[in-house]
Chain A
Amino acid sequence: MNQNDSEMKHPEFRPFNIEQLKNIPRETVVKLVLLLVLALFLAAVYARTYAKDVSLKDVDTRLVKETDCEKYQVQTARQLYQFLELNAQDYEEVLYRKSTETMSADELLIVKAKSGEDLDAVQDAVEERIRSQISVFEGYGPTQTARLKNALIYKKGRYLFYCVAKNPEKYEEVFRRAL
């Protein structure tokens, strides 16, 4: 069956002709490509930033259930300020657990900020905390120093996760799944 037969049987059917594409002005093609690139970029940024709206109480419940994090004591807003100079009321929720042993640098902090932009200040405070803790433990606490140097900081959406522990990945894994 040739092309004319097809058109006679189905008059509304016009077979696609690749030649028609060549008639689209180059300017229109470039604009379409630009829009496509923008859409892909925005989608990728959104997907990268997307995090479920989860209460830190729920995250803590999961952490307690699935890990041994109960060995770290929940700290108060005052202690958060004392150790990290962060004001708890500046953020939507904060979960701060810390080892009760004096000779341990282990701690776990999760901040749910009011806006993603607020996390820069939190990250800065955390990095300062790590630096200060390294200077405290360096020289007589090689294990703690090594843990501090392997501290995990992870940001997603409005959340920041920070952990110093023997295996910080196991806590991070629970946190990631919670989001």
Chain B
Amino acid sequence: MLFSSILFIFYFLPIVLAVYFLIPARFIRARNGVLLLASLIFYSWGEPVYVFLMIYSAFFNYYLALCIHEEKKKGGTGRRNLAFAVIVDLFILSFFKYYGFLMGNINHLFGLHLHYTQLALPIGISFYTFQAMSYIFDVYRGTTTVQKNPLRFALYLSLFPQLIAGPIVKYRDVAEQLDHRETTLEGFGYGASRFVFGLGKKVLLANAFGALFKSVTALPDSKLSVVTAWLGALAYTLQIYFDFSGYSDMAIGLGRMFCFEFLENFRYPYISQSVTEFWRRWHISLSSWFREYVYIPLGGNRVSVPRHLLNLLIVWGLTGLWHGASWNFVIWGLYYGVILILEKYLLRNRLEKLPAWARHLYTMVIVTIGWVFFSRDSLASAWQTIGIMFGNGAFPFADGTTFYLLRTNLILLILGIFLSSSRPIRAFRRRTEDQPIFGIICLGGILLLSTASLIFSSYNPFLYFRF
């Protein structure tokens, strides 16, 4: 089920909210039961078979965490149980996500024609597997207490607001909230407004940029130009931001409506003045997961320079691979690994001397090029697009199609660039503090426009559902 669907907004969510709030706050177990049941229904709506896999993963990790805890209580290290849990978790993820990629590469490398069936990826598997692994690591390291109630752990893993596309919530960040949550009208109001903002980002902006991107990619080579290629890349840059940050807003908002507080996943990444800063602002929950459970255990930056470079490349290669079973994602990850190394060891002082606008431009060019790898089906297609963007080949600088696309989308592009900065939301908050009615009108308008758009549009899933 999609957050941005009539079924979810006008049927599923109101029913779940009504049942949830009909139960008095002191009966937290009953409220948790409602949320768990709703989460299972939400997931099984599109994945009637794979809901079993999620239940399995919840029970498996719950049980293995108990084993680690018991072993440590008896004086052991818990290492064997930790290894067993991580191997099984990664095996499940790999079986669905990387099996086809592996077989394709074996066939390509050895000139074989082994037939294989590419399995459909269970939605959200990358997110909930990483959540489960963070819990296992934390129990092993003793940074969180073990959860003795399997249903409560299942609720943590399957909680529908963040189940499908994050943020990747660490168990220790919500452990207390599973037992005790404070219900406030302010919290509910904040959650509802955040949800509406996220809905607007997805339905009104991301889908519009998606349509522009699609119209550029559908152009035959004869109608491509340097500026058109940049226009397509810019459209995707804005689409993926509004799509994914819109989903995160909806997830955080829904969490607040049910009295959960999730950490922020985006902090206006497109205002960054270096790529290092960009990665502190983009998909924060994934970056912090890799930093905490891969980068730091590898030694982080407290090692020799060559080892540090290797650590960075491992982490960024894995970050790329997490996004998808394709060389495009691996190259995309390594591309960032190399740029972050360059920024850390070579460019930092030089960048600091540049004016703010130049640093911002540099960051956005790097990020926009990076999204080309992300948006294309194959590496060949990505290289070709990048080639066109830099004038490689007999492509004109601009042509009639470029001017048509610019003329018909200029306002949208200006609006997108403006809304991806922090200024509009700050201005909105200031204005609504003085005039609450202004906020209600704005949110009502966004909800109305989004609903109208949903009624007339076709299936439009979030980009991050693929991961």
| With A41-B52, A87-B218, A115-B100 as contacts: A34 and B60 at CB distance below 8 Å | yes
Provide the A97-138 mask, 1 if CB < 8 A to any CB of B, else 0. Answer: 000000000000000001111011100110010000000000
Q: Is the CB of B88 within 8 A of A38?
A: yes
Interchain Cβ contacts under 8 Å between A and B, 5 examples: A38-B56, A38-B60, A41-B52, A50-B117, A117-B121
Residues of B163-179 at the interface with A, using a CB-CB cut-off of 8 Å, are none
CA distance A31 to B84 in the complex (A): 9
| With A115-B100, A121-B459 as contacts: A49 and B63 at CB distance below 8 Å | no
Q: Is the CB of A49 within 8 A of B120?
A: yes
Provide the A65-99 mask, 1 if CB < 8 A to any CB of B, else 0. Answer: 00000000000000000000101000000000000
Residues of B within 8 A of A64 (CB): none
Q: Is the CB of B458 within 8 A of A41?
A: no
| With A85-B458, A87-B218, A120-B459 as contacts: A27 and B67 at CB distance below 8 Å | yes
Q: Is the CB of A45 within 8 A of B49?
A: yes
Q: Is the CB of B56 within 8 A of A41?
A: yes
Contact of A116 among B49, B84, B118, B458 (CB under 8 A): B118
Nearest-neighbor residue (CB-CB) of A52 within chain B: B115
Q: Is A154 an interface residue (CB 8 A)?
A: no
CA distance A120 to B459 in the complex (A): 9
Residues of B116-136 at the interface with A, using a CB-CB cut-off of 8 Å, are 117-121
Residues of A within 8 A of B49 (CB): 45, 48
CA distance A17 to B435 in the complex (A): 81
CA distance A157 to B100 in the complex (A): 12
Nearest CB of chain B from residue A112's CB, rounded to whole Å: 12
Q: Is the CB of B218 within 8 A of A116?
A: no
Residues of A within 8 A of B59 (CB): 34
Q: Is B106 an interface residue (CB 8 A)?
A: no
CA distance A128 to B53 in the complex (A): 30
Residues of A within 8 A of B95 (CB): 42
Residues of B321-369 at the interface with A, using a CB-CB cut-off of 8 Å, are none
Q: Is A18 an interface residue (CB 8 A)?
A: no
Q: Is the CB of B461 within 8 A of A120?
A: yes
CA distance A135 to B189 in the complex (A): 40
Provide the A38-68 mask, 1 if CB < 8 A to any CB of B, else 0. Answer: 1001100110111111000000000000000
Q: Is B466 an interface residue (CB 8 A)?
A: yes
Q: Is B92 an interface residue (CB 8 A)?
A: yes
Nearest CB of chain B from residue A125's CB, rounded to whole Å: 7
Nearest-neighbor residue (CB-CB) of A114 within chain B: B377
- Interface size on B, as a range, is 20 to 34
Residues of A within 8 A of B458 (CB): 85, 124-125, 128
Contact of B115 among A37, A53, A85, A119 (CB under 8 A): A53
Contact of A37 among B56, B67, B100 (CB under 8 A): B56
Residues of A within 8 A of B115 (CB): 52-53
Nearest CB of chain B from residue A111's CB, rounded to whole Å: 14
Contact of B119 among A52, A114, A116 (CB under 8 A): A116
Q: Is the CB of B118 within 8 A of A158?
A: yes
Contact of A157 among B53, B56, B117, B461 (CB under 8 A): B117
Nearest CB of chain B from residue A30's CB, rounded to whole Å: 7
CA distance A27 to B52 in the complex (A): 22
Contact of B117 among A35, A38, A51 (CB under 8 A): A51
Residues of B within 8 A of A157 (CB): 117-118
CA distance A52 to B117 in the complex (A): 8
Q: Is the CB of A38 within 8 A of B92?
A: yes
CA distance A45 to B118 in the complex (A): 11
CA distance A49 to B458 in the complex (A): 26
CA distance A116 to B100 in the complex (A): 11
CA distance A87 to B117 in the complex (A): 23
Residues of B within 8 A of A53 (CB): 115
CA distance A121 to B461 in the complex (A): 9
Residues of A within 8 A of B56 (CB): 34, 37-38, 41
Residues of A within 8 A of B84 (CB): 31
- Most A Cβ at <10 Å: residue of B49, B119, B121: B119
| With A30-B63, A31-B84, A41-B56 as contacts: A117 and B218 at CB distance below 8 Å | no
Nearest CB of chain B from residue A129's CB, rounded to whole Å: 11
Residues of B within 8 A of A114 (CB): 377
Residues of B57-74 at the interface with A, using a CB-CB cut-off of 8 Å, are 59-60, 63, 67, 70
- 7 smallest beta-carbon distances between A and B, as pairs: A124-B459, A116-B120, A50-B117, A53-B115, A49-B117, A157-B117, A49-B119
Q: Is the CB of B53 within 8 A of A41?
A: yes
Provide the B144-173 mask, 1 if CB < 8 A to any CB of A, else 0. Answer: 000000000000000000000000000000
CA distance A168 to B25 in the complex (A): 54
CA distance A125 to B459 in the complex (A): 8
- Most A Cβ at <10 Å: residue of B60, B92, B117: B117
CA distance A42 to B95 in the complex (A): 9
Nearest CB of chain B from residue A165's CB, rounded to whole Å: 25
Q: Is the CB of B119 within 8 A of A45?
A: yes
Nearest-neighbor residue (CB-CB) of A87 within chain B: B218
Nearest CB of chain B from residue A53's CB, rounded to whole Å: 5
Residues of A within 8 A of B88 (CB): 34-35, 38
Nearest CB of chain B from residue A92's CB, rounded to whole Å: 11
Residues of B within 8 A of A41 (CB): 52-53, 56
Residues of B within 8 A of A46 (CB): 117, 119
Knowing that A31-B67, A34-B60 are A-B contacts, what are 18 other residue pairs whose CB atoms are under 8 Å apart, sorted by A's residue number? A31-B84, A34-B88, A38-B56, A38-B60, A38-B88, A41-B53, A49-B120, A50-B117, A85-B458, A87-B218, A114-B377, A115-B100, A116-B118, A119-B120, A120-B459, A124-B458, A128-B458, A158-B118
Residues of A within 8 A of B117 (CB): 46, 49-51, 157
Contact of B466 among A30, A117, A125 (CB under 8 A): A117
Residues of A1-46 at the interface with B, using a CB-CB cut-off of 8 Å, are 27, 30-31, 34-35, 37-38, 41-42, 45-46
